[in-house]
Amino acid sequence: MEWVDPHAGFRYVTDTVTVDAAHQAEKLSACGIDAGVFAADVDPAFYIGLAIHAGINSGISAEGNINMSNTILQHRPVRLGETLTVDGEIVAVDEVPRGQSVRTEVRFVDARGGLAITANRTSLRPDPTKVGTRGVGVKPAPLVHAVSGLEPHGRFNLTPEGVKNYSSEGNSIHYEPAAAVAAGFRAPIIGGGMGVHFLTAALWAVSRPTSFGMDVYFRRPIFWDETVQVYMDDVPPGVLALVKNEGKVGTEIAVRNLTLA
């Protein structure tokens, strides 16, 4: 494929996507998550990766890119096997010390033309000549200052085999050690969507959401050989965190406008 340099106003090619029961079970099993917690619902964390691949299929390379934040809006539950139409665009590209900050908006629409999922993303497109440079633009304030005020909800041991089985082609920092080291990491890091599965599974385990907004912040890389612990502040939660084995927050989510079945 001939890659296109990201620029504001670039429109994605309209396509269709489906998450079926077999795919959900396979990918969640690679994470160590029981897919049964979602029953007939699609885990909305999948739409993080599906939005990225909508860009790849339109000519925007994801190679080496790092997810900084996502906003996922579930307008209503998506059922396993349901086909959605996806489209989107790049809304802004800003220069930052480490390269470029790219903001995208992606929509997943059902057969009746109704919005099912909105997936907005801010990612870092690193400049290879600036590996080790700090600075990615304005960072939102942390949601979690100490996990002591949160309740634990499951521990998971990541493995290279599991991370490779989860990962799809398109960004080798998630599955190729040489690519990760060249990008400045000690080892491959899990994709943002993979980390969010642990948090959405915890949310579904205590409630059955129908609609909500999730503001997702990726604070630190999570490596493919680490142990992670899920924490939440309440049932149903307003804040969830995926904490690395040294007690530092890797990923955190603010849940808003939650409605339950």
Question: What does the alpha-carbon distance between residue 7 and residue 92 come to, in Å, rounded to a whole number?
Answer: 7
The model's pTM is 0.96
The alpha carbon dihedral of 30, 45, 257, 222 has a sign of positive
Preceding omega of 221 cis (within 30 degrees of 0): no
The pLDDT of residue 51: 98
For each of the domains in the chain, give its residue range(s) and CATH number, in order of start: 15-136+143-260 (3.10.129.10)
The pLDDT of residue 141: 92
Interval 137-188: pLDDT, tens: 888 899 998 898 899 999 999 999 999 999 988 999 999 999 999 999 999 9
Task: Report whether pLDDT(1) > 80.
Answer: no
Interval 28-53: pLDDT, tens: 999 999 999 999 999 999 999 999 99
Using pLDDT thresholds of 50, 70 and 90, give the confidence band for residue 105.
very high
Tokens 């890797």 — which residue?
250
